[in-house]
Structure 1
Amino acid sequence: MNEDSTKTDLKNLTQEQLVQYVESLGQPAFRGRQILAWIYRPGITDFTQMTDLAKEFRAILAKNAFMSRFQEAMIERSRDGAVKFAFRLADGLIIEAVMIPEEDRNTLCVSSQVGCAMGCTFCLTGTMGFRRNLRTAEIVNQVCAVRDWAIEHGQPPLTNIVFMGMGEPLANFDNLLDAISLLTEQRGLDFSNRRITVSTCGLVPQMRELGDRTDVNLAVSLHAANDAVRTSLMPINKRYPLTELIEACRTYRQKRRKRIMFEYTLLEGVNDTDADALQLAELLRAVPCKINLLAVNPAGDAAFRSPSSARILQFQKILRDQGYTVFIRTSRGEDISAACGQLAGQGWHPQKVTTNTAIPS
């Protein structure tokens, strides 16, 4: 079913915008906050369920607005417990999100764009090219849909949200900020800022603005410690080279004791030598940070290979000896193309993916 372009999707509106919207309908401001408290409750799909609103006002809402949702998803489960969800959007495009259950948390990796324009050479999403930005509702509906699926299947609740799915989050900045507002609003999805992480390949101006306007965690996809290698892997480095990127990280506005997470994908023979580790240690010296090491995952025709376990451990040891907190992130969902760098909205049989679109209430 297609979206009704004559109606307003309330899930595209932050609390402030929702207040303004109900005022445009002749209602007092508190009605907007009242509606928001209903929209993100599990199982709320119709205005008739909002029992503390006057019947006449519910009729006005039904005439002028709707609450979009993803009704169904194509789902694949990995041997390691990761679950990949594919959602078909109103225009037929497909996005993917991945739930990663762990002992102490349940993390959802969400998408912010259909495709990606950044062109990182080790990432399958980049081979799609850029199709479009996701609207605010399409971002938060990934969280709503997976939350509802977890409830229905007796799974632990979602605890963490990471913007590490399809797309560059900071290239969809306004919708990202609105989605974060709804994710952290108590009347909305009520996640803590410290439980939300935004990853970027290094859009420096947007990084600065993110720090000024939110308190969420920042992860920076680094993947090389010198400009020559990083530019060969990540074209964005031509626009914002390492000197500029690291200075933006050094001056990034964040709460005390918070540290930037640097993501470093290890590629055999490209960025995994002892010299690379020492260069990385020197590069990050002035930035309060943690480092995540990740062996590259297979991504289409890319020729990159993962270093040996011994090489990865040696790389970690060098950084730890230099005083850094360094984690080796275990890849999850590789057998269902759900691991880091593998999301591409491909391989789904079109007859098996139910249309997931905005359904007017």
Structure 2
Amino acid sequence: MASSTPASPLSPSPEAPLLLTGLTTAQIEEFVAALGLPRYRGRQVADWIYRRNAGSFEEMTDLPRALRHQLAAVASVGRPEVVARTVDADGTTKYLVRLGDGQTVECVWLPYREWSSVCLSTQVGCPMACAFCATGRGGFARNLSAGEIVAQFLLARAHAPCPVTHAVFMGMGEPLLNTSAVLQALHLLNSECGIGARNLTLSTVGIVPGIQRLAREKLQINLALSLHAPDDETRARFMPVAQHFPLPVVLAALRDYTAATHRRVTLEYLLIAGVNDSPAHADRLADLVLGKKEEGGPLLAVVNLIPYNETEARFRRPSEEGIRRFMARLKQRGVAVTRRLERGETIAAACGQLRREAASDAPGARPRRSPRRRGTAVART
């Protein structure tokens, strides 16, 4: 039987239109060349997608109309559909978007005084099942592709009233359980969308093999650990990952990461009333950051305190006095500490909330208890 050469994954296929978001400029050039077109047309298409916010070929007005129709017959830009949109008084805008297979994820545009950012999801749902997280209670469906991750950024940027300068991988899902797609998305945001590497932040619950891979890549991004407790016993109460990756192992991986990249890491600490917010917890956290000489001394890190955003979970937010007292104790011990600037105080801002609300409003869904809405929109809580 005669052998045949398999088609290139970038070859046009009417049965399965190619999603162009997620491809590099060079790959889009290859795709248009396979259509018999000049490669510069591919550069034009990439420029429209990644830098000029086009959501369809019809918007690419410097392409001949016949070419736009030709492209639309075999490819798609890959922009998701907006299912729901909520806007806070501070301008924070949360989108629930529907992907090509009908699954939904969230992304958030976050305005600050001197910059703005987009919070991106990396999975449909999340398998980590953290007890305080709205996303985890919805279960896990699948990983997102690099294109689906970048498409969230492009959608939010297209609607933003000012330039978007940052992106954070802190939305639905655990980025380091989808490492290949996340790394590809990081490269695309940097090289195609023009976001500086040091304006990109990835947050993980502590997936050690993923941290080790990031260390090998030596990217100049920001790495954040969702720590949330200063010891494994407390952490395991609400983060099942602690049973697989205990803190000594995670911290060793972080030390290797900082040694390889010379980048300071952020330790995200979700303050939960009566669970991890006592003076003793503050002291144990300080001990963990300052380290012992035989462990390598102080960890190159800053602690970022995040007052809990109440969802349908059983946990509660500490008082303002308790938050200030915890922060003051860390400073007294010589630990670098900041408090998360909260956004989205009047909307379902924490990860997974809007998606759960949309699901509960569907016909036949069980009624839900309305959460007290306060903002930690930029954190995967």
TMscore range, shorter length: 0.7 to 0.9
Q: 1:182 aligns with which of 184, 188, 201?
A: 188
2-structure distance, mates of 1:16, 1:326: 43
Q: 1:306 aligns with which of 313, 317, 323?
A: 317
1:219 positional shift: 0.7
Task: Confirm or deny: 8 A CA contact 2:268 2:306 kept in the other structure.
Answer: yes
> Residue 258 in 1 paired to residue 268 in 2?
no
1:17 positional shift: 4.1
- Residue 163 of structure 1 corresponds to 169
> Residue 295 in 1 paired to residue 301 in 2?
no
1-structure distance, mates of 2:60, 2:108: 30
1:291-340: CA deviations, max 9, x gaps? Answer: 1101111121x22112221111111111112222211114322432113x
Equivalent residue runs for 1:139-154 within 5 Å: 139-150=149-160
> Residue 207 in 1 paired to residue 211 in 2?
yes
1:198 counterpart letter in structure 2: L
- Residue 330 of structure 2 corresponds to 319
2:287 counterpart letter in structure 1: E
> Residue 90 in 1 paired to residue 81 in 2?
no
SS at match of 1:311: helix
- Residue 355 of structure 1 corresponds to none
- Residue 244 of structure 1 corresponds to 249
1:279 counterpart letter in structure 2: R
1:337-357: CA deviations, max 9, x gaps? Answer: 113x45351223569xxxxxx
Q: 1:321 to 1:342 in 2, by over 3 A?
A: farther
1-structure distance, mates of 2:129, 2:308: 16
TM-score between the two structures when normalised by the length of structure 1: 0.85
- For the aligned residues, what is the CA RMSD? 2.7
**Comparing 115-124 with 8-17, which one deviates more in the overlay?**
8-17
1:157 positional shift: 1.6
1:110 positional shift: 1.2
**Comparing 277-286 with 13-22, which one deviates more in the overlay?**
13-22
1:333 counterpart letter in structure 2: G
Q: 1:336 aligns with which of 331, 347, 351?
A: 347
1:193 positional shift: 0.7
> Residue 137 in 1 paired to residue 147 in 2?
yes
SS at match of 1:103: coil
1:175-212: CA deviations, max 9, x gaps? Answer: 11111111111xx2111111110100011111121233
SS at match of 1:92: coil
2:309 counterpart letter in structure 1: N
> Residue 192 in 1 paired to residue 183 in 2?
no
1:337 counterpart letter in structure 2: A
Tell me which of the two structures has the higher relative contact order, counting C-alpha pairs closer than 8 angstroms and 6 or more residues apart: 1
Q: 2:85 aligns with which of 53, 72, 75?
A: 75
2-structure distance, mates of 1:171, 1:5: 30
Task: Confirm or deny: 8 A CA contact 2:268 2:303 kept in the other structure.
Answer: yes
| Residues paired across the two proteins, number | 340
1-structure distance, mates of 2:322, 2:268: 17
1:275 positional shift: 1.3
SS at match of 1:336: coil
TM-score between the two structures when normalised by the length of structure 2: 0.81
2-structure distance, mates of 1:297, 1:4: 46
Task: Confirm or deny: 8 A CA contact 2:176 2:207 kept in the other structure.
Answer: yes
2-structure distance, mates of 1:63, 1:124: 39
1:270 positional shift: 1.2
1:81-100: CA deviations, max 9, x gaps? Answer: 32111112222222111122
**Comparing 126-135 with 78-87, which one deviates more in the overlay?**
78-87
1:222 positional shift: 0.1
Q: 2:283 aligns with which of 278, 285, 310?
A: 278
SS at match of 1:265: strand
Task: Confirm or deny: 8 A CA contact 2:201 2:224 kept in the other structure.
Answer: yes
Task: Confirm or deny: 8 A CA contact 2:54 2:60 kept in the other structure.
Answer: no
> Residue 6 in 1 paired to residue 16 in 2?
yes
1:81-123: CA deviations, max 9, x gaps? Answer: 3211111222222211112211122121111111100011111
2:183 counterpart letter in structure 1: L
Task: Confirm or deny: 8 A CA contact 1:215 1:254 kept in the other structure.
Answer: no
1:233 positional shift: 1.5
SS at match of 2:178: helix
Task: Confirm or deny: 8 A CA contact 2:80 2:151 kept in the other structure.
Answer: yes
2-structure distance, mates of 1:330, 1:59: 46
1-structure distance, mates of 2:69, 2:106: 35
Q: 1:248 to 1:31 in 2, by over 3 A?
A: farther
Runs of 5+ in structure 1 lacking a partner?
Answer: 352-361
